[in-house]
Amino acid sequence: MKIKFITIVISVLLVSCSSSSTSEDMVSDIDGTPMEGEMGSNTTLMGEFVDAAHPTMGQVTVNEERTSLFITDFKSDDGPLLEMYLATDLEATNYITLGELKGLEGNFNYTIPNGETLDFTEYKYLMVWCVDFSVNFGHAILE
Domain limits of the chain? 45-141
Q: What's the whole-model pTM score? A: 0.69
Output the CA torsion 130→131→136→140 (10° steps). 90
- Helix, strand, coil share of the chain (percent; to 5): 15, 40, 50
Q: What is the pLDDT of residue 84?
A: 97
Give pLDDT, residue 38: 36
- DSSP result, 1-55: -HHHHHHHHHHHHHHHTS----TTT--B-TTSPBPTT---TTSPEEEE-EESSS-
Q: pLDDT of 106-117, one tens digit each?
A: 999 999 887 667
**Rounded-to-integer distance, Cα 22 and Cα 138, Å:** 43
- 8-29 confidence digits (pLDDT tens): 444 433 333 333 333 333 333 3
Instruction: Answer whether 47's CB lies under 8 Å from 140's CB.
Output: yes
What is d(CA 138, CA 50) in angstroms, rounded to the nearest whole number?
A: 6
127 pLDDT higher than 80: yes
Predicted confidence at residue 2, as pLDDT, reads: 55
Higher pLDDT pick, 79 / 34: 79
Whether the per-residue pLDDT at 89 is higher than 50: the answer is: yes
